[in-house]
A and B are shown apart, each in its own frame.
Chain A
């Protein structure tokens, strides 16, 4: 701006001086002739026009110089190279490796007489709401990075009531292409919806009843997984997994250490801008050898589990920060065929069908708050009389659980949640209250769907 003014001033002064001179010349040449006055006027106009053009040109040159000074035009290539290298250096420092911690703790309250047992189910030892009172819940250390151009690595070490534990430790291929991915090591299975999720990303403080009953809350094991994503506009991913068979429902790594396999297929997509969904079918096949439940009965045989899952999300304009509604449900059906033993029975042959489902809705109604409701149920087919009184006897009860939760989210990284469970497992209603905190720090975790 300053330059502009100076230039204008300069031009004006110069212009008027030259004009005066020209005028003086003309004056001495001839006197009061109308024609020459006209000529003079024309020349004056001409001169004014010339200087106006000159001023405009100078202004535009000045503006060009200013633009160039602002590192836009000439040095673009050089700048691009400089900052791209700078950027890469930065990326290496911040990303390699990504390291983050999840802290998770809770206060649990229930009646002293409450005993977590689901009639008809020989539960995994992990099932249940845990101890009463204040406690550190499953907290995790996560480390992940690209190992090289071909592999990505992930490790989750969890700390909880039973000490440290390697929850996941796997390698995943990066550039097989054509939609293929292979994962190997120890990892959570991709069956169903909740199975592959870490519990700290759940909307409730505990897993729904069918997950507790059929998978011990979570299913992960040592194995290998192959997935293939179809090249379609609609999301369609299928995969198979082969596992050691160390985890419930298999337990004990029978069959020379290949005891469990699974297959799954998921489809999903968007409906307009605000809605999205995913649905899937999965199957888990476990060869069980001497699986012992907490009630010290054993089962040997084949355990088959089918899962149908869906999730639907709505967020106005796809902006889920201030407003989101989520509806999620899964149906699990299990058949176990084999030999059952307990204190009274020895190797009694059994063919048993059981199923369960849950449905949950969570409404994130403001930036800071969400609330949710969940119901889950289990039911068992009738068994032969000889199993009366055993852990498999459902005593004509179908366990039901209703849960309510309210969550406060200060930021993406910290949450405090209050949950109330109303359990009716054996005809007697019992309430469980849970107050939980979850905090994440370190590298930015992923917003998994």
Chain B
């Protein structure tokens, strides 16, 4: 009997060791919901952090399931970095409850929602789902305005300093350097946006409000009549009627969305359509935060330029 207990004890000890060995040993283990925040955490944390993103650029962040792999990832995280404003409401609360990770409960430094640090747009006056999947807190797709990235960076580095105080200077230093680079890049993007000021844009889903705000662009219509509900043929026909004689400048949709509706409308109205990355990984060229916006503004500029050239020919 005794040897049996010994056997069980040694198995237990071995499995504990295995478990110990398989946990990651960076200073801060970051669980991010979207690739933009993963990239930002990596910029600020350098080699002192390991980062993971629950979604990639080709996924719709509304419709993720609380998969077992995500629960397991959250179990070992020190910092949760998500958009907030109800974007992840369908899956994140469930992950947090299942993970049993005391560091990631509301009010702890490890629980970080980016949307709490920027000015939210599109806060609905009436919340009614006949209008589609409306976000009561406001539009959660804040990462399409590069200025918001700077705001979130400033707030995020404070959390990193609290979670890993020994390396507070390291994080602050990296944040300062990042923000200097970002400021320079912002000037460039602003210049590009200035050339496009006032362009009239048709969007697929209401996910570009912050880009419109940054560039002073004009969102004139959405293909998805109501957010989260596929466009009806009636609405598409209406769009063709509206824009046939008074065309908008461009139709945009995110990398993760189906091109079908945009292309259909583009063919019938002659308005050029373009896939923008929306987040890192949404296009091949959007590989980090800098190239995300480089690519976004290049795509807008080039698509409009090519279309103008075509018109002249």
Q: Which residues does A use to contact B, with CB under 8 Å?
A: 1, 63, 66-67, 70-73, 76-77, 79-80, 83-84, 87-88, 90-91, 94, 146, 149, 152, 172, 174-181, 227-237, 266-270, 273, 276-278, 313, 317-322, 367-368, 410-413, 441, 444-449
Contacts and interface: CB of A to CB of B under 8 A. Distances in A.
Given A83-B119, A88-B116, A229-B71, 17 more contacts: A76-B154, A83-B118, A84-B155, A87-B113, A94-B86, A174-B97, A229-B100, A233-B73, A276-B69, A278-B68, A320-B65, A321-B63, A411-B228, A444-B89, A446-B66, A447-B90, A449-B67
A447 to B, nearest CB: 4
Contacts of B186: 67, 72
B151 A79 contact: yes
A179 B72 CA distance: 9
Interface in B205-242: 228-230
Given A76-B151, A152-B97, A317-B56, A230 B19 contact: yes
A447 B65 contact: yes
B247 to A, nearest CB: 24
Which among A77, A232, A267, A445 has the highest number of chain B CB atoms within 10 Å?
A232
Contact of A87 (B23, B56, B84, B230): B84
Contacts of A234: 69, 72
Nearest to A277: B68
Given A83-B118, A229-B98, A444-B90, A235 B68 contact: yes
20 contacts: A67-B190, A71-B119, A76-B150, A83-B120, A84-B155, A87-B85, A94-B137, A149-B106, A230-B75, A231-B75, A233-B73, A266-B68, A267-B68, A317-B58, A317-B59, A318-B58, A411-B228, A412-B228, A445-B90, A449-B67
Given A320-B63, A320-B65, A229 B75 contact: yes
A172 B90 contact: no
Contact of B100 (A88, A176, A413): A176
B168 interface: no
A364 B105 CA distance: 34
A84 B116 contact: yes
B100 A1 contact: no
Contacts of B194: 1
A177 B97 contact: no
A80 B187 contact: no
Q: Which range contains the number of B residues in contact with the other chain?
A: 35 or more
B120 A87 contact: yes
Interface of A is mostly: mixed
Among A66, A445, A449, the one with the most B-chain Cβ atoms within 10 Å of its Cβ is A449
Contact of B136 (A94, A231, A321): A94
B137 A181 contact: no
Interface in B48-95: 55-56, 58-60, 63-69, 71-73, 75-76, 84-86, 89-91, 93-94
A62 to B, nearest CB: 12
8 cross-chain pairs, A with B, having the tightest CB-CB distances, nearest first: A268-B68, A177-B102, A235-B68, A87-B116, A235-B72, A175-B102, A179-B100, A446-B94
A49 B129 CA distance: 62
A268 B70 CA distance: 10
* Highest count of chain B CB atoms <10 Å: which of A67, A83, A88, A181: A83
Interface in B118-153: 118-120, 129, 132-133, 136-137, 147, 150-151
A67 B190 CA distance: 8
A79 B119 contact: yes
A412 B63 contact: yes
